[in-house]
Structure 1
Amino acid sequence: MASEIEVFYDGACPVCSREMAAVRRRDRRGRIRFADFTAEGFDPAAVGVTREALMDRIHARLPDGSLVEGVEVFRRIYAAIGFGPLVALTRLPGVAHLLDVGYRLFARNRLRLTGRCHDGACELPPPPASRHA
């Protein structure tokens, strides 16, 4: 069975890695393809966005090649593992707004919140080394 969604996540983020591990355990039908964009050899050009955009917010690719990002990615992956009724609640106007705001705050502060800032600076980490280097 082909995957329903390919999710691009920050594998160097402890919170992000735990979340994707929990989703992976529940993905018994293999509907989700997981891609850690911090892994060695990952090429963001294959996604069609910059590394900075991937670091800015979570992205996913649908079978037709279109991209979704932010909270919509979580809706899609949770629907793929059988949480459709819960996902429907996240689309309610007030709930959707709160989730969007909360996710943007987390994503913007993810490096600081996960202890990946040094000397008061939260700079984008260097890209992983290529296997061909």
Structure 2
Amino acid sequence: MDTTLTRPDAKRLHVFYDGGCPLCSREIRHYQRLTSEAAIHWVDIQRDHATLDHFGLRQEDAMRRMHAYRPDGEWLIGVYAFLAIWLQIPRYRWAARLVRLLRLDRPLQRLYHRWAERRFERLCNDERCKLPHS
């Protein structure tokens, strides 16, 4: 699947993920199978530096947490990025709505940030943290 920026004015959600992370890549591949390219533009931050530059997103920031950019210009980070993805996938739409209905987004965001920071530190301590384009 081509992740290079094809249309800067695309009317779809842009999701920035760490393609160098096996867990992240596996989850994104799962989502890609369940949705169309018309709904979400998947950006592997390890390979697509042009799109990072276009959106003004530093690779280190993108590696630390999942980012999504909505067509209306709003940035969504962490759990909010996942909720935006889920809303685009019919099979997961109910989960996004349930998280919001039960007001679980903030507690889940705090948990996600802790997990993401540990993941990033572990990658950097193991010298797998590649930031050639920061």
**Fold match (TM-score > 0.5):** yes
2:6 matched residue in structure 1: none
Query: Aligned to 1:64, which of 62, 72, 77?
Result: 72
The answer (yes or no) to whether the contact 1:9–1:35 under 8 Å persists in 2 is: yes
- Give CA deviations for 1:59-85 in whole Å, capped at 9, x if unaligned: 111112332111111001111011222
Within a 5 Å distance, the mapping from 1:19-30 to structure 2 comes to 19-28=27-36, 30=38
Which 10-residue stretch deviates more, 7-16 or 83-92? Answer: 83-92
Q: Which entry has the higher C-alpha Rg, 1 or 2?
A: 1
Query: Aligned to 2:114, which of 105, 118, 129?
Result: 105
TM-score by length of 1: 0.77
Q: Determine the C-alpha separation between the residues in 1 that align with 2:57 and 2:85.
A: 20
**Amino acid aligned to 2:86:** Y
Greater helix fraction, Structure 1 or Structure 2:
2
Q: How many residues align?
A: 121
Within a 5 Å distance, the mapping from 1:1-133 to structure 2 comes to 4-28=12-36, 30-39=38-47, 41-43=48-50, 44-82=52-90, 83-91=92-100, 92-93=102-103, 95-111=104-120, 117-118=125-126, 124-127=129-132
Higher RCO (CA-CA < 8 Å; seq separation 6+): 1
Report the alpha carbon displacement of residue 56 of structure 1 after superposing the two structures with TM. 1.7
Q: 1:3 to 1:18 in 2, by over 3 A?
A: farther
Q: Determine the C-alpha separation between the residues in 2 that align with 1:68 and 1:50.
A: 15
Query: What is the aligned-residue RMSD (CA, Å)?
Result: 2.3
3-state SS of the aligned residue for 2:125? coil
Any stretches of 5+ residues in structure 2 without a counterpart? 1-9
The answer (yes or no) to whether the contact 1:56–1:108 under 8 Å persists in 2 is: yes
